[in-house]
Homo-oligomer: A and B are copies of this chain.
Amino acid sequence: MTAPLEFYFDFTSPYGYFGAEQIETLVARNGRTVNWHPVLLGVIFKATGQIPLLSVPLKGEYSGRDLQRISRLTGIPFKLPTPFPVSTAAAARAFLFAGEADAAMAKQLGLALYRAFFVNGRNIGDTEVVLDVCAEQGLDRAEAAIAIESQAIKDQLRAGIVQAQGLGVFGSPYVIVDGEPFWGWDRFPMIETWLQRGGF
């Protein structure tokens, strides 16, 4: 029971951001590790017929309030950026590029991208902004620029999304623990109980 957890997220998902800020400490204090997998909710929602959360009447307004409240409760800074949501293909591909060399660097870049968007309001839907963040994290900007336009990385992202859909991933964050799926930041306490008890 020491296989890594699998953490699926979209860079434009606010609850995915809160999840990304907490997943590593959650798994570490339970003696586990976690793999990060960027997905594109735009692709996934097309398959399931869902629409972006904040576009749903009433539910969208509620979620805006819920996100501010989670920020106050957890102490994780959060400000809904404009524009929102954005296309996160470039961010996801940059993550995969960083992960080719080093999974830890990819996670560091992933958090930096999330914070650029949800703390500093930088538009990570813009490829130039994504490349700026790559450079700030010590990656080679020119190499990153070539990589995220490469067919190999595009194919890798596409294949990753298809695989995620095959595993039932329909939202962000989505965590698989020893085959058991958990959707949503609000399932993190349940994930922890699951890890502590070895299931229930």
Contacts and interface: CB of A to CB of B under 8 A. Distances in A.
Interface of A: 47-51, 56-59, 61-62, 65-66, 69, 72-73, 165, 168-171, 180-181, 183-184, 186-187, 189-190, 193, 200
A127 to B, nearest CB: 30
Given A69-B200, A73-B190, A200-B72, A181 B57 contact: no
Tell me the number of copies of this protein. 2
Contacts of A50: 56, 59
A189 to B, nearest CB: 7
Contacts of A168: 58, 61-62
Nearest to A168: B58
Given A49-B56, A62-B183, A72-B200, 7 more contacts: A48-B59, A49-B51, A50-B56, A50-B59, A57-B170, A59-B171, A62-B168
Contacts of A73: 190, 193, 200
